[in-house]
Amino acid sequence: MPVEITWWGHATCALLDSNTRVLTDPLFAGRLAHLRRRRGAVPPAEARRGDVALVSHLHADHLHLPSLAALAPGTRLLVPRGAPRAVPGLRRLRQLQITEVAPGDAVRVGDLVVRAVPARHDGRRLPVGPHRSPALGYVVEGEARTYFAGDTGLFDGMAEQVGPVDVALLPVGGWGPYLGEGHLDAGRAARALARLAPRVAVPVHYGTYWPIGMDAVRPHEFHAPGDEFVRLAAAAAPQVAVHKLGHGESVRLEVAR
């Protein structure tokens, strides 16, 4: 059975594996605080359908309460341990089945097993709040083993802690002219790809949101990361097939282990 991946923009993907639909960091907004969606239409209503949604960390462009509230009642939601304490609005989403996880935890959803793995990223809900939760990646194990990195920098033992994977959804950019600590740009993502050695990679987390009024500030950081990752990945990990998707585009993969 093929595995299908759709990229809806930023870190939001839909993964269909073993007849189970997984959403990553759902964000269905045309505007978020000072950010405006500059490329790709706001995902349609059918994009909000999932059996389980994965939240990688507490930053508002990854844990977006209005988008989570738009998920169908009964949707399973995996969040970093401590997230409901740090983000009280989560506790009002009583229509969702919320499960808190930390690195090393595994949750069965249908015929899938979802493993939480470490990420190197700030786990706070900024700009306010003292509470921290671990930033996470996830490995979805079904017909394929698909790694969703969330937001992360490179870290020692990355390949060992993530484990062998067939598909990697890797962030290659951001939403502003400069990337802070704990992020992958196209070059670091290519180095991560060489460490992880999946069969397939899809670049995400670029070319969607940009600060209002800053269209002319380092615009290459908005437009270029996807193509740059394709180029650098070909040199760093030539055995990996890279699929650069447009917003709303899908790829179907026949992954034979």
DSSP string, the chain: --EEEEEEETTEEEEEETTEEEEES----SEETTEEE-SSPPP-GGGG--SEEE---SSTTTS-HHHHHTSPTT-EEEEETTHHHH-GGGGG-TTSEEEEE-TT-EEEETTEEEEEEE--S--B-SSS-S-B---EEEEEESSSEEEE--S----TTHHHHH---SEEEEE---SSSS--TT---HHHHHHHHHHH--SEEEEES-SSEEETT-TTSSTHHHHSHHHHHHHHHHHH-TTSEE--PPTT-EEEE----
% of the chain exceeding 70 in pLDDT: 96
Q: Does the structure show a pLDDT above 90 at 157?
A: yes
0.85 surpassed by pTM: yes
Q: Residue 138 above 70 pLDDT?
A: yes
**Which pLDDT score is estimated for 152?**
96
Average pLDDT over every residue of 1-22 = 96
Q: What is the pLDDT of residue 257?
A: 61
Over residues 47-73, the pLDDT tens digits come to 999 999 999 999 999 999 999 999 999
Residue 238 pLDDT exceeds 80 = yes
